[in-house]
Amino acid sequence: MNTHSSKPKHKSGRGSSDKRERILEAAIRVFAQGGFYATRVSDIAKEAGVADGTIYLYFENKDDVLISIFQDRIGKLIEVLREVAGRDEPVDERVRRIIELQLGLLEGRRDLAEVITVNLRQSSKLLKQYGAPLFTEYLELIASVIAEGQRSGVFREDVSSRVAARALWGGLDGLALTWALGGGDKDDASRDAALKKAAHQWGELFLDGLRGGTHHA
Amino acid sequence: MNTHSSKPKHKSGRGSSDKRERILEAAIRVFAQGGFYATRVSDIAKEAGVADGTIYLYFENKDDVLISIFQDRIGKLIEVLREVAGRDEPVDERVRRIIELQLGLLEGRRDLAEVITVNLRQSSKLLKQYGAPLFTEYLELIASVIAEGQRSGVFREDVSSRVAARALWGGLDGLALTWALGGGDKDDASRDAALKKAAHQWGELFLDGLRGGTHHA
Amino acid sequence: MNTHSSKPKHKSGRGSSDKRERILEAAIRVFAQGGFYATRVSDIAKEAGVADGTIYLYFENKDDVLISIFQDRIGKLIEVLREVAGRDEPVDERVRRIIELQLGLLEGRRDLAEVITVNLRQSSKLLKQYGAPLFTEYLELIASVIAEGQRSGVFREDVSSRVAARALWGGLDGLALTWALGGGDKDDASRDAALKKAAHQWGELFLDGLRGGTHHA
Amino acid sequence: MNTHSSKPKHKSGRGSSDKRERILEAAIRVFAQGGFYATRVSDIAKEAGVADGTIYLYFENKDDVLISIFQDRIGKLIEVLREVAGRDEPVDERVRRIIELQLGLLEGRRDLAEVITVNLRQSSKLLKQYGAPLFTEYLELIASVIAEGQRSGVFREDVSSRVAARALWGGLDGLALTWALGGGDKDDASRDAALKKAAHQWGELFLDGLRGGTHHA
DNA sequence: AATGAATGAGAATTCATTCAT
DNA sequence: CATGAATGAATTCTCATTCAT
């Protein structure tokens, strides 16, 4: 449903389709290290412990591997997000969950963060063709929560819910980028904690800003 | 190997080094369109109206062209930013200027803006090696303005100025990305207007959020 | 290396070797459609309704499949041809039978005909190594009929029987090629009828030419 | 006009476009030796004394090289044929010229004969897509001469001029095939003479057959 | 300085063949 | 006997870079 590749003839095979997963994980690691373009297909294969040709049993081509990473992960994220967005909780609480969710996806996965925030943009073609639809869906979901907050009077209405959604996502992506790029001086655990703290601050700033219009009067 | 651009023996030359400039401008345009990797050296040459070989009279290699864009352009951007950051204006006013600057709304220097949002992520290798330091400097400059606002009591202090700076940049980048992804349905003028409006909304949301801590008490 | 097909340990087997036959038939079909090189072993397998690996239980390799087609089928064709050539009928009648035979109009053995016009030229290497001898035998048989006609005074003698045989075959091949190239505008039945008619005309032209020397005096 | 490739950016360059010719000649040699599919692009390059990449400056891809051989040669042949077909000579004389012409194309070029008669058919795709149109034009030209002979009462009318044209060409192609395939037992000169002689015989047989209908009454 | 034809290293992809099940 | 997932050698084609003019 959320996979794009038309290839996986296996799928149902028990131990077989975890090979697809293995390749995907290997690709995330090597893409994060060297970037999409600098990574050779044989690098992915070696990292996954399979032969070069095996990649092509599970993916159309190299592009498809990157796209699949994006689609698999974002697809899952959207699923959960949809549930969160529909919860019976105060909207600001739901916004906080969204933030945690987006960063939770990355929890301890600096490599995944780099692939999503950096690598995907290296190919504008891929980004536009495959990324845009999913990305738009994701943003619309966030925007709908904000819009609900606006209708209920919790959030200011002089800011477009879509603009706010984009800014929220962009801010998180900005934090993730710095986090991904940051050299390895500190240990992962403290880096994780730092990201979490930063995300919390950013969330409160955002929420206050979103409520802020009321104070203008 | 680690020092770059030992080539530009011209630079000082009179009319000749405007060819370097022409190549740089051409490269910014084509990189922005198709990305660093999808762009062939011959594309840059054609756009610049010179022969392929001519590129190599002014730059070491293709990487060097991208690096030079970073250094030349972000360097200039930082210069302007430094001036804006140091102005004798209220901090929130300065933050508004920074937003306009980054989106290229200021002085019609759209190309400068493109460099950051589009080119920054093109090559992870180059990004890490050459982009990161400059990028960090850029962010620090923004953070310093925010910090000043915090010290003067205008901005809340429970949010790290660096986190706020990253979020500010990320939000802008998010708006720019959507803007870039959005198909060419509308004309440029109305797209520009939409971006300007979105940027304004985002700025006010951000500033209110940044002041917001005060209302919590 | 130079002896081929040491594999078919089955051959004598009862019902199992009809699988070999099935593969051979399938190969003829797919080779005829796309050519030897454009056909993948998996295409043959799919057409035959067996697994890829099964092919290798009956044939050394892909080349061996083509060679086997030559040997099995052209062998049979030559057998039939030999019978026709030796019949107790007027030579011109026998020439007419040969034409029908080669075009597969005789006894509905279209597949036999395909072997020569379609498969003969598929691989120059194999053609030279395995096809040429059989092909020569085939032509010699035709030439022998013509030579017989010459000796009995029915056919002119100022034309080499071998040259005539080659020309006869070539003409038929030319008709078949046009027939194969002709897009699928008409239905198979009418295409068949057209080929039959063309073959008849060609046969009479050829026979008259072959008798023609008598008029020269 | 008769070249298909959209590549040759050079063309007018003096000494430059003979490189295209050099590659073409080299390709004819190596295709004839090993066949189209067995020949690697690097083989062509080596034979032509150029780098692999140079091939791609003059041709789209490997297919294009084969197509270009066919188109260049057949294209030229058609030009001359058109002149011959329109001459003010007896039709049978013109048919003799056509035969000489078609074989003259191959004069001493066993390799070219093999490429045209054997290699082109190895790829039904190429043959159908590019060969068919030119081939049809060529045949129509021959058919028009035969039709003229029929209208003037020299040739029998119970044979379709198109069928006759195909048979004529096919017969010649058949002779050329045997000639190309024949091992190298004799020297080239005597082989050439043999081909010429065979062609003459075939021509007379064909012409007599084409007149033959008149004797049937 | 400028040119652009030529180069050739490098990478993606295909597909015949194998072999564990 | 049969299968078909896995393999990896082989090949085409691209494109950054060079260098003779």
Same domain, B97 and B178: yes
Pairwise CB contact (< 8 Å): A163 & B34:
no
Residues B149 and B156: their CA atoms lie apart, in Å, by 8
Contact D55, D41 (CB under 8 A): yes
Site of tokens 């003799």: D96
**Chain B contact for A132, CB < 8 A?**
yes
pLDDT value at residue A24 = 96
d(CA D111, CA D1): 25
Candidate from B132, B158, B208 with C-beta closest to A209: B208
**Domain-embedded: residue C76:** yes
**pLDDT on residue B11:** 44
Do A79 and A36 sit in the same domain of this protein? no
CA of C54 to C1' of E20 (A): 15
Q: Does some domain include residue D87?
A: yes
Between the alpha carbon of residue A97 and those of residues A84, B205, B209, the distances in Å are 7, 20, 18
Own/partner contacts of C125-134, CB < 8 Å, gap of 24 or more, are C125/D34, C125/D35, C125/D38, C126/C63, C126/C66, C126/C67, C126/C70, C127/D118, C127/D181, C128/D181, C130/C4, C130/C67, C130/C70, C130/C71, C131/C70, C131/C74, C132/D181, C134/C70, C134/C71, C134/C74, C134/C75, C134/C78
Backbone angles phi, psi at B179, to 5 degrees: -60, -40
Contact call for D205 and C212, based on CB within 8 A: yes
What pLDDT does A29 receive?
A: 95
Mean residue pLDDT of chain B comes to: 85
Interface A–B counts its CB contacts (< 8 A) at 167
- Mean pLDDT over A106-123 rounds to 80
**Is residue A5's pLDDT more than 60?**
no
Domain identity same for A14 and A106: no
Instruction: Identify whether B3 is part of a domain.
Output: no
Helices within C15-160 (DSSP H only): 17-34, 41-48, 52-58, 62-69, 75-85, 91-102, 110-114, 124-126, 132-151
Q: Are residues B41 and B98 in the same domain?
A: no
Contacts of D210 in chain C (CB under 8 A): 205, 209
Average pLDDT over residues B42-54: 97
For the CA atoms of C191, C192, C194, C198, what is the dihedral angle to 10 degrees? 130
Which residue from D114, D174, D211 is facing C166, i.e. has the nearest CB?
Answer: D174
Which chains reach chain B with 3 or more Cβ–Cβ distances below 8 angstroms?
A
Distance A6 CA to E13 C1' (A): 17
Residue A122 has a CB neighbour count (10 Å cut-off) of 24
Residue C119 forms part of a structural domain = yes
Rg over CA atoms, chain D: 19
Q: How confident is the model over A186-198, as a mean pLDDT?
A: 83
For residue A2, what pLDDT is reported?
Answer: 42
Across A73-87, B35-49, B113-127, C60-74, least confident range:
B113-127
Q: Which of C178, C177, C180, C174 is nearest to C206 (CA)?
A: C174
Cα C160 from Cα D171, distance rounded (Å)? 14
**Overall domain count for chain B:** 2
| D31-41 confidence digits (pLDDT tens) | 999 999 999 99
Distances (CA, A) of C89 to B161, C97, C145, C166, C172: 107, 10, 11, 22, 22
Q: Is the pLDDT of residue C2 over 60?
A: no
| Domain final position from A59, A76, A101 | A59
CA B63 to C1' F16, whole Å: 10
Residues in chain B within 8 Å Cβ distance of A168:
171
Amino acid B117 reads: T
Taking the Cβ of residue D40 and every Cβ of chain C, the question of whether any pair is shorter than 8 Å is answered with: no
Distance between CA atoms of residues B114 and B110, nearest Å: 6
Nearest nucleotide over every DNA/RNA strand to the B56 CA, judged by C1': F17
Instruction: Give the separation between CA C149 and CA C127, rounded to whole angstroms.
Output: 30
**Pairwise CB contact (< 8 Å): C166 & D198:** yes
Work out the pLDDT band at D187, boundaries 50, 70, 90.
confident
Question: Has residue D129 got a pLDDT over 90?
Answer: no
A92 and A42 together in one domain? no
- C127/D119 CB distance under 8 A: no
Q: How far is CA C75 from the centre of its chain?
A: 10
Q: What is the mean pLDDT of residues D194-211?
A: 94
CATH number of D202's domain: 1.10.357.10
How far is residue C165's CA from residue D103's CA, in Å, rounded to a whole number?
18
In angstroms, the separation between the Cα of residue D167 and the nearest Cα of chain C is 4
Question: Which residues, 6+ apart, have CB-to-CB distance to D8 below 8 Å?
Answer: D17, D20, D58
Q: Which is higher by pLDDT, B15 or B105?
A: B105
- As a whole-number percent, the residues of chain C with pLDDT over 70 amount to 86
Give the DSSP per-residue string, D25-76. HHHHHHHHHH-TTT--HHHHHHHHTS-HHHHHHH-SSHHHHHHHHHHHHHHH
Last residue of a domain, one of A59, A78, A100: A59
D8 within some domain: no
Q: Which of D163, D177, D211, D214 to probe by mutation at the C interface, max C CB count within 10 Å?
A: D163
Kind plus residue range of the DSSP H or E element containing B85: helix B75-85
pLDDT of A12: 40
Q: In this complex, which of A114, A123, A213 lies closest to B38 when CB atoms are compared?
A: A123
**Whole-number Å distance between alpha carbons of A10 and A54:** 12
CA distance A174 to A180: 10
Q: What is the CATH number of the domain that holds C19?
A: 1.10.10.60
Most A-contacting residue of B168, B205, B207, B216 (CB-CB within 10 A), to test interface: B205
Nearest-CA distance A53 → chain B (Å): 24
* pLDDT over threshold 90, residue C22: yes
- The region of weakest confidence among A37-41, A127-131, D97-101 is A127-131
> Cβ(D110)–Cβ(D28) under 8 Å?
no
pLDDT at residue B2 is higher than 70: no
pLDDT digits (tens, 9 = 90+) for D16-56: 568 999 999 999 999 999 999 999 999 999 999 999 999 99
C174:D171 CB<8 A = yes
Residue B39 has pLDDT above 90, yes or no: yes
In chain D, which residue's Cα lies nearest the Cα of C163? D198
Using a 10 angstrom Cβ sphere, with 0-12 exposed, 13-18 middle and 19 or more buried, the burial of residue D4 is middle
Mark whether B75 and B157 lie in a shared domain: yes
List bases in chain F with any atom under 7 Å of a protein Cβ.
1-20
Contact between D23 and D58 (Cβ < 8 Å): yes
Amino acid occupying residue D118: V
- Asked if residue B31 lies in contact with residue B123, where contact means CB atoms within 8 angstroms, the answer is no
For chain B, say whether A169 makes contact (Cβ under 8 Å).
Answer: yes
Residue B205: band (very low, low, confident or very high) from pLDDT cuts 50, 70, 90: very high
Do A47 and A78 fall into the same domain? no
> Do D123 and C37 make contact, defined as CB atoms within 8 angstroms?
yes
Cβ-in-10-Å burial (0-12, 13-18, 19+) of B36 comes to buried
CB B142 within 8 A of CB B169: yes
The answer to whether the CB atoms of A167 and B160 lie below 8 A apart is no
Q: Are residues C21 and C76 in the same domain?
A: no
CB D167 within 8 A of CB C173: no
Tally the residues of chain D.
217
Calpha distance C63→C50 (Å, rounded): 18
Residues B22 and B127 in one domain: no
pLDDT at C61: 96
Decide if C3 is inside a domain. Answer: no
Task: Name the band, by pLDDT with cuts 50, 70 and 90, for residue D183.
Answer: low
Contacting B residues, span 179-198, partner chain A, CB-CB under 8 Å:
181, 198
Is A42 in the same domain as A90?
Answer: no
Strand E, nucleotides covered by protein (CB < 7 Å): 1-20
Of the residues C37, C59, C81, the one at which a domain ends: C59
Distance CA D14, CA A16 (A): 60
- Reported in sequence order, the residue ranges of chain B that DSSP labels E, i.e. its strands, are none
> In this predicted structure, what is the pLDDT of residue D117?
85
Give the tens place of pLDDT for each residue, B57-101.
Answer: 999 999 999 999 988 888 888 999 999 999 999 999 999 999 999
- Dihedral of CA atoms B125, B128, B131, B136 in degrees, nearest 10, equals 170
Output residues with Cβ under 7 Å from nucleic strand E. Answer: A 39-42, 52-53, 56, 61-63; B 9-10, 13, 16, 19, 50-54, 56-57; C 39-42, 52-53, 56, 61-63; D 9-10, 13, 16, 19, 50-54, 56-57
Residue C36 domain-assigned?
yes
Q: Which amino acid is at A176?
A: A
- For residue A103, being part of any structural domain is answered with yes
- Assess whether B208 and B118 both reside in one domain: yes
Residue A128's pLDDT band, with cuts at 50, 70 and 90, is confident
Is the CB of residue B173 less than 8 Å away from at least one CB of chain A? yes
Identify, with chain letter, the residue nearest to nucleotide F3 (CA–C1'): C51
**Is residue A204 less than 8 Å (CB to CB) from chain B?**
yes
Cβ(C7)–Cβ(C60) below 8 Å: yes
Q: For residues D118 and C121, is the Cβ–Cβ distance under 8 A?
A: yes
Is residue C131 located within the same domain as residue C111?
Answer: yes
Looking at chain C from residue 10 to 39, which residues have their Cβ under 8 Å from any Cβ of chain D? 33-38
Q: Among B66-80, B183-197, C122-136, which range has the highest average pLDDT?
A: B66-80
- Say if residue A9's pLDDT is above 50: no
Instruction: Determine C/D contact with 3+ CB pairs under 8 A as the test.
Output: yes
Mutate to test the interface with A, among B163, B204, B206, B211 (most CBs of A within 10 A): B163
User: Residue C33 is part of which domain span?
Assistant: 9-59
